[in-house]
Every structure is written in structure tokens, then in C-alpha cells.
Amino acid sequence: MKRKIYCALAITAAFLTLAGCDKGDAEQGWSSEFEPVTETAGSQNEQQTTTEQEKTEQTAADQTTGDQTTEATQEAPADNGAVSICDETTPFDYASDYTEEIKVAVERAVAGATSFEDEFAKMQEIHEHITSRRSDDENQAEMNVVSFYYYQIWDAELNNLWDRFTQTVDDATKERVLADQRAWNVMKEDAALEALGPQEEGGSIYPLLYNSFMEDSTKVRCYFLAKEMAAAKGDSFTMPKKSVLGSYVDNQGTDSIYSCLSVTESWESGYIAKATLHGIGELEGTVEEAGDGVLSFASDDDSVKGTITYGWDGAVLEITEVNGDSVVSLGDKFEFPMVF
């Protein structure tokens, strides 16, 4: 996917102000995570690790995800004079690879955090720091590139959390959460496809949409792991307010998607919902907020109406009105217990 983000078709970019890792940034905590990188002989103390997905594979030898091994370093490696993500005089270098620097920034943020809430706030600070380096005249391909690094922040955080999680909880909890984690890892590509449609129909903005979906979904997994870890230690972690936007899956206890419900922003205004119902068909229409954690649904042809209740425990679509022929019936209720 990383290679696909260089598709080019310019769309209007939002104005972004450039800023560096100066004293003002340090007051916001950025320079404690990002520091300029210089290549000095013997300065790199590299430690080979595996991603959380590979740990999943090793724990369950019969499950293969296809993810690749990555390195987490104590010092981000310089790349033959390539611009550091924290360079104060040069804008974001869209041709550089900042993955290792992001991993180091995440490690530093975790080390300096006082709680999960603080830890996740620091992830947002890293996000904002990357934003500060962006050019105000980005083209679409460049926006796609940056969206990949936003995703990498939370991917690195998930791997870091998983390492700590496996060292914190008992074996029973680990195995239970591992099953959900494995299922999420196997299904995330299909969940993105259900929410976004096929890449060939998405145009040059598709990589940005894909990376944004993966960023949000990975962030959700971080929240769930934090909640499990807090409970194991006798602490508490309050999940943030659930966004209206989201994808929910019914996997019926497997690692395959049977049914899926996605709520996304409309290109014009408001929200749209798409439900793919196993063995039944599809519903697509608009939704409006109808209360805390409740949406009212109306199909595009106005023949079906219903309500969607949603939260961190999943979503439920209940059909409240049917006019004419439809793939659903009055009173039908569809549950989507897994959150992406």
C-alpha cells in the first residue's frame, strides 16, 4: 500500500502553517519526542523487534497475516543526509522515509506519559508536529504520503501497547484479546474495502482515504488494549466519546466479515451509511443524529427507514419502516459487535 500512495491528481489542499522544533514547540512537548538526527559512528543502538501482528502469528502458528518485520531503534537512523522530520529550515521531505523516526517519537512519548489519556494526547502532538512541517501547496500525491505517516503513528503505538499488554495481563486475558486482535488484523483490509469501495473506483484520493481508515481503526484497537491493560492493573481508562463516523462488523466469531455497517461523511454534507447484510443484500442511504449514540437512517430511495445505535460495543441497525419491495422487513434487527 505504501507504494500506491504516489498516485497523482491535485485537489485543493488546506492551508497549513510551517513550524519547526524550536523553543515554542518544546513548550508543547514536541521536541521531547522528535529531535534532529545526525549520523555519528556508533550512535545507533538498534534493537530488532517484531510487530504486534507478527507476535500474533508466532502465538498462533496456524494463522498467517503476511505483515513484514520492522525495526524499532533507540536512535532514528539518518538516511545519507536526508532531512529529519524535525529539520527547522526545510519543509517536510515527501521523498524521505520517516517511519523509524516516528517509532522513536512514539517510544519517547510513551516513556514520558503519565496515563493512557496523556499517552494518546502525545500521539496527537506527534500528528500535529508532522502537520507543522507540511507545505501549504501540497498536491494530492503529497497529501497521500503524509496520510501514511499519520497512520504509522498509531501503528507504532499499537505495537508498543501490545508489547506492554503481553507483559501485564494473565494468560487467559492474553488469549482472549489475542483472538480479537487476530481477527481484526485479518479483517482490516476487507473492512476498508467495505467502507471505501474498490481502489480502482476511488481515484487518486483513495490512498488518503485508505490510510485515514487504517489510522482510525488502529487508534480504536489502541483504545481497547488500553482499557484491557488498565483493568488488569486495577486502574480505569475512560474511552473517548465515540465518533459518529465508524465501521462495524459482524464476524460471527470468525476472522471473516459476514456483515458490515459503515458510516462515513458525505462528499456534500452530512453522513451516509452503507450496510452489507450477509445473505440478504445491501442498504445505502443517509443518516442524521437523533440523540446520543443514535442515528436515524433513510435509504436513498426512501423505501426503508430505521435507527442505528452505536458505541464502543458495536452498532445495531433496526428497521422501523418499509415501503414497497425491499431486501429487509419491518422489525428486522442487525447487530455488528466489532468496531473498526
- Determine the pLDDT at residue 44: 34
Segment 39-69, tens digit of pLDDT: 433 333 333 334 444 444 443 333 323 333 3
pLDDT of 135 over the 90 cut = no
Give yes or no for residue 98 having a pLDDT over 60.
yes
User: According to the model, what pLDDT value does residue 89 have?
Assistant: 55
CA distance 204 to 261: 25
CA-based max dimension of the chain: 74
Number of residues in the chain: 340
* Rounded-to-integer distance, Cα 140 and Cα 142, Å: 5
Share of the chain above pLDDT 90, in %: 61
Per domain, the residue ranges of the chain are 2-232, 246-339
Q: What is the pTM of this model?
A: 0.77
Quick: pLDDT tens for 162-189.
999 999 999 999 999 999 999 999 999 9
pLDDT at 6: 34
Q: List the grid coordinates of 101.
A: 523516526
Q: What is the mean pLDDT of residues 135-152?
A: 94
